Amino acid sequence: MTTLIVHHDDCLRHDTGAKHPESPQRVEAVLGAIGDLDGLEFLPAPSAERAELTRVHPPAYLERVARAIPSEGRSTLDEHDNVISPGSLDAALRGAGAICFAIDQVMAGHGHNAFCATRPPGHHAESALAMGFCLFNNVAIGARHAQEAHALQRIAILDFDVHHGNGTQAIFEKDPSVLFISSHQVPLYPGSGMPDETGRGNILNLPLRPATGSPEFRDAWTNIAFPAVRAFDPDLILVSAGFDAHHKDPLAQIELDTEDYGWITREIAALAEEACAGRLVSILEGGYHLEALAASARAHVKALASA
């Protein structure tokens, strides 16, 4: 069956400035790297509906984000490097809308799995706080959409971005219907993600020391994370797909290779086949070396398309 690629050019209009690592060129690099792969169908991302957003973000926060968007030039929101521009709200709405739409399509059998090639990323955004280049927590919005719109009971969110998904953890740490597993470098922004942060038994953090390479990364997922997913028996798996643990990435010091992303995607896809009829939706998070990002995203999508 088909792997769906969900994207919208509004995501390119989120203007962070020439020197900002979270640039429109990231998505352009990803799309350029996967365009010749077989088994893909490209679909436009809709804008998220307000009801989809308010399952995670309170109305007051949504209104504050909308008010903060400048009519021209650039500004910041909540953190100095959370740059926003006139196109930022539309881009963020497409990202949140993309994952809800992708879930709808996969649940309807229109695609076997999906990858959302959108920006800005989302996993640092808390319910009422923008953080780490993120405005809305896309993967959290997707999880709540799956539960509310499709009556799914158990959602697993797997996050292999090099930075801890603090926002996703904060949103779900009191909700055992969502399993959140994150591998990430420690110490590193945002400074959270320790093993003793377990929520209600539904949070599993896999901190990695700087200079960690493929063997340790694969061991943590194989021997700790994947058994936890099997025990949880999810109805849907969502992936926060950050590619910034690559050894070329400038924002961290983990030493993964491109093929590690192919490997973990194949393993997650096999888990999805085992647990939930292959239902798997991934969304782009980090990855700031354009060449490494392109190669890693290609490995990820190629593995999805081969599942």
pLDDT one digit per residue (tens) for the chain, 307 residues: 799 999 999 999 999 999 999 999 999 999 999 999 999 999 999 999 999 999 999 999 999 999 999 999 999 999 999 999 999 999 999 999 999 999 999 999 999 999 999 999 999 999 999 999 999 999 999 999 999 999 999 999 999 999 999 999 999 999 999 999 999 999 999 999 999 999 999 999 999 999 999 999 999 999 999 999 999 999 999 999 999 999 999 999 999 999 999 999 999 999 999 999 999 999 999 999 999 999 999 999 999 999 9
Domain boundaries along the sequence of the chain: 3-306
CB of 77 closer than 8 Å to CB of 85: no
CB of 41 closer than 8 Å to CB of 151: no
User: In whole angstroms, how far apart are CA 20 and each of 89, 189, 248, 295?
Assistant: 18, 16, 17, 21
Is there a catalytic annotation at residue 289? no
CB of 165 closer than 8 Å to CB of 159: yes
pTM greater than 0.85: yes
The Cα 58–Cα 171 span in angstroms is 12
The Cα 171–Cα 168 span in angstroms is 5
User: What's the alpha-carbon Rg for the chain, to the nearest Å?
Assistant: 17
Place of tokens 């470098």: 185
76 pairs with which residues across the strands?
83
Q: Domain 3-306 falls in which CATH fold?
A: Arginase; Chain A (3.40.800)
Q: What's the one-letter identity of residue 278?
A: G
pLDDT for the residue numbered 93: 98
Given the residues 8, 124, 246, 300, select the one marked as catalytic: 124
Q: Is the dihedral of CA 18, 22, 28, 29 positive or negative?
A: positive
pLDDT for the residue numbered 1: 75
